[in-house]
Amino acid sequence: MEDLISSLPEALICHILSFLSTKQAVATSVLSKRWMPLWRSVPTLDFNDFDYYLISNKTYYRFVQSVSAVILARDFNQPIQKFNFRYSCPHFYELPVITAVNIWVNAAVQLKVQHIHLSFNLPSLVPLKPPANLSSFFSCKTLMVLTLQGIQFTNPFSSVDLPVLKVLHLQDLGFPGRASFAELLSGCPILEDFKTNRLYFNEGSIDTEFKTLPKLLRAHIAAESDFFLLGVVNNVEFLQIDDIHCSLGDGTSPYVFPMFHNLTHIKLVYSNYNNNWAEVVELLKYCPKLQVLVIDQPDVHFSGIDEFKEEVGVWQYPPCVPECILLHLKRCCLNGFIGTKGEFEFARYIMQKARFLQRMTISTGMDKNQWGKLELLKKFYLCTRGSATCKFTFS
């Protein structure tokens, strides 16, 4: 059978190999003499400790040595587009792997890397503490995408200069203080996509000044721990907020929302069932140009759900309708709908007040309760609609 892939140009074969893990790409060298050197020019380095089955100290050190060997053996005339490293084996975590990661990252920076993904996914709540010079890539002039997870930066950054960085995703990171984090953001002048989840600060005033990111278009903020960042991303067009009311107990919001003048699409994600629909309306007051509202709730299945639906989320219509609902809202999507009084009143409120609503979508996930879905559908069809052209979808 003719080997069509081997007849392709080397650059195209290397591009195909870039979709494999580095371990798999290296394994192709046994196919033929033609394939033997190709993995050295693959533009992606992708290492995952799961591929190496770290079940003993011997395999742990073999993993570290193999990553170093691959980096040293590659063609240094070929730049690296992506460097991905994922580590999740706490039983064999030792300082050598952190020291090695520092060397690997520096090598990637020398090779003009464009994407860096470092993930230490360990069960411990205590972040890792790699050497301070692991932050050397914060002055990389070619870096466009940076994703970091599970790292504790022990020393303040002397300076950050990431002139072409467009995507910054941070999860489970520790900083010496908020001033260091503010320094990081100020060094990303053209950032367009920003995501955070669980940032920790050893010290620093909560009044630390953060500069607005002028080019930012998209942001994803976990409000439980990083709510203060909403003021930094208030010029975005798309915003996702996770668990915005998770600390509420008295039905009132403890947050002072900034004004989102450019926001046209917002997504609110709840890990627990939302019981404060008045707060959602309060947030919409700060989004005057909003066109798309998406709310995701988890599927709820437990005994006593009927009583739960009667008691949770009851609220009264506010005296003033938010500007975005009256003049701009075109699409509203409610996922995880179970039919509580609060949910239904909120959905009816949107349908009644949104004059330019084009589509209202409600997803229940109530596959086994067709009778309950039918009753809800009847109630919705009796609702007054502010928009005569609105298409209603219920599933």
Give the pLDDT confidence of 298-320 residue by residue, as tens digits: 876 544 455 445 555 567 788 88
Give the pLDDT score at 131. Answer: 45
pLDDT average, residue stretch 188-203: 90
CA neighbor of 334 nearest in space, from 277, 249, 379: 277
How do residues 309-367 score in pLDDT, each as one tens digit?
Answer: 555 556 778 888 999 999 999 999 999 888 788 888 898 899 999 999 999 998 886 55
Question: What span, in angstroms and rounded, lies between the C-alpha atoms of 294 and 161?
Answer: 35
Going from N- to C-terminal start, the domains of the chain cover: 225-237+244-395
Question: What span, in angstroms and rounded, lies between the C-alpha atoms of 279 and 358?
Answer: 24
Quote the percentage of the chain above a pLDDT of 90.
26
Question: What span, in angstroms and rounded, lies between the C-alpha atoms of 303 and 395?
Answer: 22
How do residues 242-292 score in pLDDT, each as one tens digit?
Answer: 987 543 334 455 567 889 999 999 999 988 777 788 888 888 999 999 999
Total-model pTM: 0.82
Helical packing angle, 341-353 and 277-284, nearest 10°: 30
Categorize the per-residue pLDDT at 67 as very low, low, confident or very high, splitting at 50, 70 and 90: confident
How do residues 9-31 score in pLDDT, each as one tens digit?
Answer: 666 665 666 666 666 666 665 46
Count of helix runs (H) and strand runs (E) in the chain: 11, 13
Please give the mean pLDDT across all residues of the chain. Answer: 78
Question: What span, in angstroms and rounded, lies between the C-alpha atoms of 115 and 106?
Answer: 13
Where is pLDDT greater, at 98 or 282? 282
